[in-house]
């Protein structure tokens, strides 16, 4: 085993934990808070509630809700102007991964300056960020505990992966009640994103004993609770379990990084602005089939985490059950099994394949992958039908 490090923010988890947001900010020295969210979350009422908790603690605030899904570089740069003009000294993100990534990126530029493109890659942030508290309302991106921010480059039409321990928020507040306002489709897509985080972090080349336990426990929770969470927005037990799965998978992937599924889905998001979780769900079985020979023992453990009786099977048979379980779960959630309906063109596949091998997430994929391999997988995913 080589040298590794492991980091998490302070975590506040539980029903009604959003009520802790004001006190959390006061502990960090906040005076005026830049609250980042988006229109969808605004309509759900969670921002209004969070702002009331800030007022209860006599904290001033400025609300900024301009980021769109798959946030873009120019949006972040508008956001940092608003932050500086407002005189805020701290940042809150409330929402899904898009709002939280935008919030973290505004915080980055507030103290480091320049444009967000300058920070694409690993460990390019040198100055400390303002105090950050993040409250996710999906389960989810894991961005509230991660050292990642994913921002679209509007010129190159790719998603930039920014990795720095400075991007880990000071405090993550995870309130499962916020999941009860999400519809079935969003719950399914974000839940499959969590599964992709758990599996890719588990088989990552950078996985460690500190991350593997979190990855496997997240898979166990998803196997048991994602279907009931999608079935009913009122199932509190399922919402709590999926919030925990998202948290555990987020801790795992923040420290172990991800793999080819994310490297490829970032291209679909960057070029075509497609939903991240749905794209991951479609790509996951194809990439797993490709990755299977790299670590069949780990695939066997994933099968066991899905509840398969692996003791009676050969290693190959047990490992294969993991892919079958992923396909069955996506099928039960009515997620398509191919990219066929996207009408992708040959030159778009070439462009995305070349960019995918440059994505930071590709470096930890357990099987080597060249642009030609990525292209083949995109082609398989276009054919569909597993
Ligand atoms: Fe993701």
Closest of 214, 184, 183 to residue 198, by C-alpha? 214
pLDDT at 1: 72
Q: How far is the CA of 56 from the centre of ligand 1 (A)?
A: 34
Encode 136-146: b = buried (16+ Cβ within 10 Å), e = exposed. Answer: bbbbbbbbbbb
Q: Which two tokens stand for residue 381?
A: 């995913």
In a domain, 4, yes or no: no
Same domain flag for 264 and 190: yes
Q: How far is the CA of 364 from the centre of ligand 1 (A)?
A: 15
Q: Which of 179, 211, 236 is the last residue of a domain?
A: 179
Q: How far is the CA of 289 from the centre of ligand 1 (A)?
A: 19
Q: How far is the CA of 184 from the centre of ligand 1 (A)?
A: 18
Q: How far is the CA of 65 from the centre of ligand 1 (A)?
A: 22
Q: How far is the CA of 146 from the centre of ligand 1 (A)?
A: 11
Average pLDDT for 195-205: 98
How many other CB atoms are found less than 10 A from the CB of residue 218? 30
pLDDT value at 147 more than 80: yes
Encode 317-336: b = buried (16+ Cβ within 10 Å), e = exposed. Answer: ebbbbbbebbbebbeebebe
Same domain flag for 110 and 254: no
Same domain flag for 201 and 174: no
CATH number (domain holding residue 147): 3.40.50.1970
Q: How far is the CA of 126 from the centre of ligand 1 (A)?
A: 25
Same domain flag for 219 and 240: yes
Q: How far is the CA of 358 from the centre of ligand 1 (A)?
A: 17
pLDDT at 223: 98
Same domain flag for 209 and 324: yes
In a domain, 224, yes or no: yes
Same domain flag for 119 and 214: no
Q: How far is the CA of 164 from the centre of ligand 1 (A)?
A: 17
Q: Which two tokens stand for residue 256?
A: 């172990």
Where residue 384 falls among pLDDT bands split at 50, 70, 90?
Answer: low
Q: How far is the CA of 129 from the centre of ligand 1 (A)?
A: 23
pLDDT at 39: 86
| Count of all residues that appear for the chain in the document | 386
pLDDT at 198: 98
Each residue's pLDDT tens digit, 268-288: 998 888 999 999 999 999 999
In a domain, 2, yes or no: no
Q: Which two tokens stand for residue 343?
A: 């009408």
Domain extent for 269: 182-383
Supply φ then ψ for residue 80, to 5 degrees: -70, -30
Q: Which of 125, 155, 179 is the last residue of a domain?
A: 179
Radius of gyration of the chain (CA): 20
CATH number (domain holding residue 307): 1.20.1090.10
pLDDT at 175: 97
pLDDT value at 51 more than 90: yes
Q: How far is the CA of 192 from the centre of ligand 1 (A)?
A: 9
**Percent of the chain residues topping a pLDDT of 90:** 89
Q: How far is the CA of 296 from the centre of ligand 1 (A)?
A: 23
Residue with tokens 């502990």: 27
**Percent of the chain residues topping a pLDDT of 70:** 99
Q: What is the 3-state secondary structure (H, E, C) of the chain?
A: CCCCCCCCCEEEECCCHHHHHHHHHHHCCCCEEEEECCHHHHHHCHHHHHHHHHHHCCCEEEEECCCCCCCEHHHHHHHHHHHHHHCCCEEEEEECHHHHHHHHHHHHHHHHCCCHHHHCEECCCCCCCCCEEEEECCCCCCCCCCCEEEEEECCCCEEEEEECHHHCCCEEEECHHHHHHCCHHHHHHHHHHHHHHHHHHHHCCCCCHHHHHHHHHHHHHHHHHHHHHHHCCCCHHHHHHHHHHHHHHHHHHHHHCCCHHHHHHHHHHHHHCCCHHHHHHHHHHHHHHHHHHHCHHHHHHHHHHCCCCHHHCCHHHHHHHHHHHHHHHHHHCCCCCCCHHHCCCHHHHHHHHHHHCCCHHHHHCCCCCCHHHHHHHHHHHHHCCC
| Higher pLDDT pick, 17 / 342 | 17
pLDDT at 383: 85
Q: Which of 142, 160, 179 is the last residue of a domain?
A: 179
Average pLDDT for 116-134: 96
Same domain flag for 354 and 329: yes
Where residue 345 falls among pLDDT bands split at 50, 70, 90?
Answer: confident
Q: How far is the CA of 95 from the centre of ligand 1 (A)?
A: 15
Q: How far is the CA of 155 from the centre of ligand 1 (A)?
A: 22
Q: How far is the CA of 277 from the centre of ligand 1 (A)?
A: 6
Q: How far is the CA of 356 from the centre of ligand 1 (A)?
A: 15
| Higher pLDDT pick, 296 / 385 | 296
pLDDT value at 179 more than 60: yes
Q: How far is the CA of 314 from the centre of ligand 1 (A)?
A: 32
Each residue's pLDDT tens digit, 237-258: 999 999 999 999 999 999 999 9
Same domain flag for 280 and 371: yes
- DSSP lists the bridge partners of residue 13 as 174
Q: How far is the CA of 262 from the centre of ligand 1 (A)?
A: 6
Q: Give the chain's mean pLDDT.
A: 95
pLDDT at 157: 87
Contacts 24+ apart (CB under 8 A), 333-336: 333/188, 333/191, 333/192, 333/226, 333/227, 333/230, 333/281, 334/188, 335/188, 335/189, 335/192, 335/278, 335/281, 335/282, 336/278, 336/282, 336/384
In a domain, 108, yes or no: yes
Same domain flag for 166 and 186: no
Q: How far is the CA of 204 from the centre of ligand 1 (A)?
A: 14
């Amino acid at each position: 085993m080589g040298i590794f490090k492991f980091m998490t923010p302070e975590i506040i988890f539980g029903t009604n934990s959003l009520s802790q947001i004001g006190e959390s900010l006061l502990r960090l020295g906040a005076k005026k808070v830049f609250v980042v969210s988006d229109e969808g979350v605004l309509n759900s009422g969670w921002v209004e509630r969070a702002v009331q908790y800030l007022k209860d603690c006599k904290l001033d605030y400025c609300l900024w809700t301009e980021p769109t899904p798959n946030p873009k570089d120019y949006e972040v740069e508008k956001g940092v102007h608003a932050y500086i003009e407002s005189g805020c000294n701290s940042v809150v993100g409330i929402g899904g991964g898009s709002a939280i990534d935008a919030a973290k990126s505004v915080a980055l530029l507030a103290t480091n300056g320049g444009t967000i493109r300058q920070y694409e890659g690993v460990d390019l942030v040198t100055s400390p960020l303002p105090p950050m508290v993040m409250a996710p309302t999906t389960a989810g991106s894991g961005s509230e505990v991660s050292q990642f921010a994913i921002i679209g480059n509007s010129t190159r039409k790719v998603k930039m992966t920014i990795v720095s321990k400075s991007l880990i928020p000071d405090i993550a507040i995870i309130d499962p009640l916020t999941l009860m306002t999400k519809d079935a489709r969003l719950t399914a897509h974000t839940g499959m994103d969590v599964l992709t985080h758990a599996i890719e972090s588990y088989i990552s080349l950078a996985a460690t004993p500190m991350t593997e336990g979190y990855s496997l426990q997240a898979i166990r929770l998803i196997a048991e609770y994602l279907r009931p969470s999608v079935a009913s927005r009122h199932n509190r037990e399922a919402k709590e379990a999926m919030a925990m799965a998202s948290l555990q998978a987020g801790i795992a992937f923040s420290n172990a990084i991800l793999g080819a599924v994310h490297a490829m889905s970032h291209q679909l998001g960057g070029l075509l602005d497609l939903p991240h979780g749905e794209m991951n769900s479609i790509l996951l079985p194809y990439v797993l089939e490709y990755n299977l020979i790299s670590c069949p023992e780990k695939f066997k453990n994933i099968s066991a985490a899905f509840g398969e009786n692996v003791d009676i099977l050969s290693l190959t048979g047990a490992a294969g059950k993991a892919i079958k379980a992923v396909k069955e779960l996506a099928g039960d959630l009515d997620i398509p099994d191919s990219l066929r309906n996207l009408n992708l063109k040959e030159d778009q596949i070439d462009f995305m394949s070349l960019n995918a091998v440059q994505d930071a997430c590709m470096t930890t994929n357990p099987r080597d992958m060249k642009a030609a391999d990525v292209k083949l997988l995109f082609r398989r995913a276009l054919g569909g039908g597993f």
